[in-house]
């Protein structure tokens, strides 16, 4: 999506992501990936409808909190190149 390589977390107080019962285990890799996908799906849907992307902020904060920066950079690069394996 547009400007994905220069994203910054939204301002405001943010501690840690809340518990998500879909990912009860200690390993949060799937949680990271799912929230990355959900963020980009949300952006795509909101932009298509011409609405504010503010509701997508939640997913952005969660994946920025859980995912290693190198993964996010690689996924964003793959999205740019059209080689990202996830369904957005």
Per-residue pLDDT of 23-36, as tens digits, reads 988 999 999 999 99
CA 19 to chain centre: 16
User: How far is 48 from 62, CA to CA, in rounded Å?
Assistant: 23
Query: Is 2 within the bounds of a domain?
Result: no
Range of the domain at 41: 28-81
Query: Is 73 within the bounds of a domain?
Result: yes
Q: For the whole model, what pTM was predicted? A: 0.81
- In the predicted structure, residue 5 carries a pLDDT above the cut 50: no
pLDDT, average across residues 8-12: 60
Query: Is 35 within the bounds of a domain?
Result: yes
User: How far is 51 from 68, CA to CA, in rounded Å?
Assistant: 29
Which residues are within 8 A (CB) of 62 and not within 5 positions of it... i.e. 6 or more apart? 17, 31, 35
* Domain containing residue 55: CATH number: 1.10.10.140
Query: Is 51 within the bounds of a domain?
Result: yes
Say which residue, 17 or 79, is predicted with more confidence: 79
Query: Is 45 within the bounds of a domain?
Result: yes
How many domains are there within the chain?
1
């Amino acid at each position: 999506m547009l400007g994905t390589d220069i994203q910054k977390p939204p301002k405001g107080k943010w501690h840690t992501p809340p518990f998500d019962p879909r990912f009860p285990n200690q390993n949060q890799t799937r949680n990271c990936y799912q929230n990355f996908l959900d963020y980009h799906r949300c952006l795509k849907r909101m932009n298509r409808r011409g609405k504010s992307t503010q509701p997508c902020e939640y997913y952005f904060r969660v994946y920025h909190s859980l995912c290693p920066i190198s993964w996010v950079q690689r996924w964003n690069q793959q999205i740019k190149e059209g080689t990202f394996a996830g369904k957005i």
